[in-house]
């Protein structure tokens, strides 16, 4: 009877502690997510990438000099099987980490490194010491204090931003530096207060060198650097814009592991306390694991709508990264499962198993990022973290520990079934990645392709052709929502132009459609309308058409106007006599037209008039106003479907026909 009461009391306490930690993590992660989204929206993509890169390298440094203390401190007080006390670990960790970060920060300031980089380093320092403080408090059962600390750590930056916004100021790099310095000091002070001056002095006077346990937990901590190095690895091979997309996706999806991370800080100490009671150990673990499995399923189901919502918040300039965000969300869900299984191994004093799995998955992820970055395949980068996390999960699930009682705990029927599913999904992911690498890009997606029909090709073989250069963004390139292959509006228009006898020459459309590009904004291939016009405007081109782009709306009007004028001016300088047509932005929704779209089209119209170019306004001309049976906008509520592309072709064909009649084969 007493045993049943004790188990009930223990179960209630664990559930209460877990609920408090989860609520605190939910609140803090939501605040962190909002803060990072606002920061990504406020900063240029490249500058936000610098901030995240500095943070990432800082976290790696913190793990390296922290000798595994944040992981080890969770179980030293609970299991009683470690020769180092929590106070000893706190003193050693604080001295090592603080020395490195203070020296590095001061050195960056003296060397004139941009403050946004220093802010990223201090953000990493704050998170490093906070991570130790969280685990320290969990190890001594101070879950309420741990929850309060994490909420304060995440609330301070957001509240500071709000205060500055109300006072009419932006959140500059100098303010970020001050904010993260304050949160770091808070994370250092809280454990020190709980330990007390006497114990701190005793621990400082009895500092010991590393032993075998230190090496094992340090190896586990260092294995986490592989995940932190993902942004850096991609930066080695990919264009800066792609790195910025990936940095955003990494940071805003990171909080999705909050539930498993919060539960692990409760589960590890509890599992460590019951290491000699197999039944209790197994009961606590199974409940923890089942909750995380349910959470993972929810995350996977909600991945696509969540990715769409994130892109809407951070702005149109991140739209090409929607698929990447989707993949990162899936990877975060899988990571939650891995964290649950890792907690069991850590509590049992087996960090080596976890280290091996993380190193395997992390190394594969880095290799895939280097490959996809070198190929500049933004559409395939999301497969790298998904494949890596699946490998980690498979390695953890397939581990067999010969040792009697622990063998039964490590290998359960649930986990055997989960291992089978993981291997199947990993195989499918590898197949998709291989097929994507072998699949040639669609003709409408290749930069500078000349779109022709069979008729125009046969006729052009006898002589020249009237060539019209069309430069645009994803509306011209086509997307997964519509406009692929023969459904693309340029293909439809080409077919119609080839079917009529305009003059003695056939008509060829030379098309450059690059998602994310604009007059000012660099696309997923790191190009602008100006760079593409300069590259493809050969002497045989008879006219140029610039289409869009809504990707420029995130930039100030003054910069946008200057970029448009510079682009047209450059074309005029290269070919003064060349007909130039500017096609404005399209609004394909049923909702009222957004004011920024109207302003952009007025700006484009003024620039066209100033430089003697023609201007076509899809919005004022009512291209999409006619009743229709099917939707012309995709599920992202931004890009046209195949029907939308057909409408664009209906209106653009006469424009292109007029240019073709004035062209020459010469």
Distances (CA, A) of 1 to 6, 8, 279, 614: 9, 11, 17, 89
Cα angle value 192/195/201 (rounded, 5°): 85
User: How far apart (Å, rounded) are the C-alpha atoms in residues 493 and 645?
Assistant: 10
In this predicted structure, the answer to whether residue 437 has a pLDDT above a threshold of 70 is no
> CATH 3.40.50.1110 occupies which residues in the chain?
444-662
What does the pLDDT read at residue 46? 66
In this predicted structure, the answer to whether residue 531 has a pLDDT above a threshold of 50 is yes
What does the pLDDT read at residue 431? 66
Work out the pLDDT band at 455, boundaries 50, 70, 90. very low
In this predicted structure, the answer to whether residue 436 has a pLDDT above a threshold of 60 is no
Distances (CA, A) of 522 to 103, 266, 274, 473, 636: 37, 46, 56, 10, 21
What does the pLDDT read at residue 418? 66
Distances (CA, A) of 81 to 214, 220, 349: 13, 18, 9
Superfamily in which the 444-662 domain is placed by CATH? SGNH hydrolase (3.40.50.1110)
User: How far apart (Å, rounded) are the C-alpha atoms in residues 419 and 400?
Assistant: 13
Range ranked top by mean pLDDT from 29-33, 232-236, 341-345: 341-345
What does the pLDDT read at residue 18? 63
In this predicted structure, the answer to whether residue 34 has a pLDDT above a threshold of 50 is yes
Interstrand relation of 541-547 and 614-616 (parallel, antiparallel or unpaired):
unpaired
Answer yes or no: are the C-beta atoms of 39 and 233 closer than 8 Å.
no
Mean per-residue pLDDT, 89-108: 87
What does the pLDDT read at residue 454? 36
Helix (H) or strand (E) holding 523: none
Phi/psi at 540 (nearest 5 deg)?
-85, 0
Peptide bond just before 549 cis, omega within 30 deg:
yes
In this predicted structure, the answer to whether residue 469 has a pLDDT above a threshold of 90 is yes
Interstrand relation of 466-472 and 507-513 (parallel, antiparallel or unpaired):
parallel
User: How far apart (Å, rounded) are the C-alpha atoms in residues 525 and 246?
Assistant: 14
Give alpha helix (H) positions in 111-142.
115-139
Q: Which residues contact 517 (CB under 8 A, 6 or more apart)?
A: 472, 473, 523, 524, 525, 527, 528, 529, 532, 549, 551
Work out the pLDDT band at 629, boundaries 50, 70, 90. low
Answer yes or no: are the C-beta atoms of 183 and 209 closer than 8 Å.
no
- Residue of 505, 523, 526, 557 whose CA lies nearest to 661: 505
Helix (H, G, I), strand (E, B) or coil at 80: coil
Name residue, tokens 């405007």: 537
Range ranked top by mean pLDDT from 173-177, 504-508, 624-628, 634-638: 173-177
How high is the mean pLDDT of the chain? Answer: 78
For 273-319, the pLDDT digits (tens) are 777 777 788 888 888 888 888 888 999 999 989 988 887 777 655 66
Q: Which residues contact 188 (CB under 8 A, 6 or more apart)?
A: 94, 98, 129, 133
What does the pLDDT read at residue 105? 85
Mean per-residue pLDDT, 47-63: 82
Percent of the chain scored above 70 by pLDDT?
Answer: 79
- Hey, what's the torsion of the CAs at 224, 225, 227, 229, to 10 degrees? 180
What does the pLDDT read at residue 287? 82
Phi/psi at 637 (nearest 5 deg)?
60, 30
Name residue, tokens 């670990």: 89
Helix (H, G, I), strand (E, B) or coil at 583: strand
Mean per-residue pLDDT, 587-603: 88
In this predicted structure, the answer to whether residue 584 has a pLDDT above a threshold of 60 is yes
Give the side-chain half-sphere CA count within 13 A for 658.
11
Q: Which two tokens stand for residue 618?
A: 């899809």
Range ranked top by mean pLDDT from 23-27, 137-141, 237-241, 280-284: 280-284
- Lowest average pLDDT, out of 72-81, 92-101, 170-179, 297-306, goes to 72-81
Top pLDDT among 208 and 584 is at 584
Phi/psi at 468 (nearest 5 deg)?
-115, 125
Top pLDDT among 211 and 115 is at 115
- Lowest average pLDDT, out of 496-510, 534-548, 560-574, goes to 496-510
Q: Which two tokens stand for residue 538?
A: 């050969």
Name residue, tokens 């404005």: 584
Percent of the chain scored above 90 by pLDDT?
Answer: 16
User: How far apart (Å, rounded) are the C-alpha atoms in residues 113 and 374?
Assistant: 28
In this predicted structure, the answer to whether residue 462 has a pLDDT above a threshold of 50 is no
Strands in 77-116 per DSSP E: none
Phi/psi at 616 (nearest 5 deg)?
-120, 125
- State the angle between helix axes of 351-375 and 322-347 in degrees (0 to 180), rounded to the nearest 10: 160
Question: What's the residue count for the chain?
Answer: 666
Distances (CA, A) of 613 to 9, 196, 564, 606: 79, 76, 12, 10
- Lowest average pLDDT, out of 45-49, 63-67, 417-421, goes to 417-421
Answer yes or no: are the C-beta atoms of 273 and 78 closer than 8 Å.
yes
Range ranked top by mean pLDDT from 146-155, 268-277, 370-379: 146-155
What does the pLDDT read at residue 239? 63
What does the pLDDT read at residue 232? 76
- Lowest average pLDDT, out of 58-62, 103-107, 385-389, 634-638, goes to 634-638
**Residues forming a β-bridge with 614:** 581
Q: Which residues contact 576 (CB under 8 A, 6 or more apart)?
A: none
Range ranked top by mean pLDDT from 86-90, 255-259, 526-530: 526-530
**Strand-by-strand arrangement of the 580-583 sheet:** 449-451, 507-513, 466-472, 541-547, 580-583, 614-616
Strands in 261-336 per DSSP E: none
Mean per-residue pLDDT, 412-425: 66
Name residue, tokens 């999806």: 253
- Lowest average pLDDT, out of 315-329, 351-365, 640-654, goes to 315-329
In this predicted structure, the answer to whether residue 132 has a pLDDT above a threshold of 90 is no
For 203-239, the pLDDT digits (tens) are 666 665 555 566 777 677 677 677 767 877 887 777 6
Q: Which residues contact 368 (CB under 8 A, 6 or more apart)?
A: 383, 384, 387, 388, 433
Answer yes or no: are the C-beta atoms of 549 and 513 closer than 8 Å.
no
Cα angle value 244/248/253 (rounded, 5°): 155
Top pLDDT among 436 and 18 is at 18
What one-character DSSP code corresponds to residue 452? -
Mean per-residue pLDDT, 467-474: 92
Residue 381 neighbours by CB distance under 10 Å: 27
What does the pLDDT read at residue 609? 92
Top pLDDT among 28 and 407 is at 28
């Amino acid at each position: 009877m007493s045993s049943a009461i004790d188990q009930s009391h223990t179960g209630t306490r664990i559930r209460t502690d877990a609920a408090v930690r989860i609520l605190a993590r939910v609140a803090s992660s939501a605040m962190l997510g909002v803060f990072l989204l606002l920061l990504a929206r406020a900063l240029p993509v490249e500058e936000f990438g610098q901030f995240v890169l500095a943070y990432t390298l800082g976290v790696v440094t913190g793990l390296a000099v922290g000798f595994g203390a944040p992981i080890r401190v969770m179980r030293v007080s609970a299991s009683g099987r470690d020769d180092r006390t929590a106070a000893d670990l706190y003193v050693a960790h604080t001295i090592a980490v603080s020395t490195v970060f203070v020296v590095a920060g001061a050195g960056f300031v003296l060397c004139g490194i941009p403050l946004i980089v220093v802010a990223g380093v201090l953000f990493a320092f704050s998170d490093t010491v906070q991570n130790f403080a969280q685990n320290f408090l969990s190890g001594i059962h101070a879950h309420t204090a741990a929850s309060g600390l994490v909420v304060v750590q995440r609330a301070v930056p957001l509240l500071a931003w709000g205060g500055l916004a109300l006072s009419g100021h932006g959140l500059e790099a100098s303010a970020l530096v001050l904010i993260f310095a304050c949160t770091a000091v808070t994370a250092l002070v809280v454990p020190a207060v709980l330990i007390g001056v006497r114990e701190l002095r005793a621990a400082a006077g009895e500092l010991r060198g590393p032993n075998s346990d230190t090496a094992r937990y340090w190896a586990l901590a260092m294995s986490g650097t592989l995940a932190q190095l993902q942004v850096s690895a991609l930066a080695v091979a990919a264009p800066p814009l792609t790195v910025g997309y990936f940095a955003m996706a990494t940071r805003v999806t990171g909080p999705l592991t909050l539930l498993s991370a919060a539960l692990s800080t409760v589960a590890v100490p509890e599992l460590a306390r019951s290491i000699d009671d197999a039944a209790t150990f197994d009961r606590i673990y199974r409940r923890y694991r089942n909750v995380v499995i349910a959470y993972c399923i929810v995350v996977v189901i909600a991945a696509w709508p969540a990715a769409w919502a994130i892109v809407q918040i951070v702005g149109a300039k991140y739209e090409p990264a929607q698929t990447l965000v989707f993949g990162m969300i899936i990877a975060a869900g899988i990571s939650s499962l891995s964290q649950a299984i890792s907690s069991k191994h850590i509590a049992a004093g087996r960090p080596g198993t976890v280290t091996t799995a993380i190193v395997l998955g992390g190394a594969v992820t880095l290799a895939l990022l280097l490959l996809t970055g070198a190929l500049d395949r933004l559409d395939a980068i999301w497969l790298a973290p998904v494949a890596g996390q699946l490998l980690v999960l498979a390695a953890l699930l397939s581990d067999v520990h010969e040792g009697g009682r622990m063998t039964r705990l490590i290998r359960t029927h649930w986990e055997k079934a989960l291992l089978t599913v993981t291997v199947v999904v990993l195989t499918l992911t590898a197949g998709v990645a291989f097929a994507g690498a072998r699949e040639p890009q669609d003709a409408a997606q290749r930069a500078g392709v000349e779109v022709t029909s069979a008729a125009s090709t046969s006729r052009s073989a006898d002589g020249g052709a009237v060539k019209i250069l069309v430069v645009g963004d994803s509306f011209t390139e086509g997307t997964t929502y519509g406009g692929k292959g023969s459904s693309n509006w340029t293909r439809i228009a080409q077919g119609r132009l080839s079917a009529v006898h305009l003059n003695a020459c056939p008509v060829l459309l030379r098309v450059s459609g690059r998602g994310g590009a604009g007059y000012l904004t660099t696309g997923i291939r790191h190009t602008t309308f100006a760079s593409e016009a300069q590259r493809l405007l050969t002497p045989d081109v008879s006219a140029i058409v610039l289409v869009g782009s809504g990707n420029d709306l995130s930039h100030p009007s003054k910069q946008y106007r200057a970029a448009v004028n510079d682009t047209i001016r450059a074309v005029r300088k290269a070919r003064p006599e060349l007909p130039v047509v500017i096609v404005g932005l399209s609004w394909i929704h049923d909702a009222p037209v957004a004011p920024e779209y109207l302003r952009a089209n007025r700006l484009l119209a003024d620039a066209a008039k100033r430089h003697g170019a023609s201007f076509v306004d899809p919005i004022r001309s009512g291209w999409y106003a006619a009743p229709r049976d099917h939707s012309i906008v995709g599920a992202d509520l931004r890009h046209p479907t195949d029907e939308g592309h057909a409408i664009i072709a209906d209106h653009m064909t006469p424009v292109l026909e007029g240019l073709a009649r004035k062209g020459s084969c010469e």
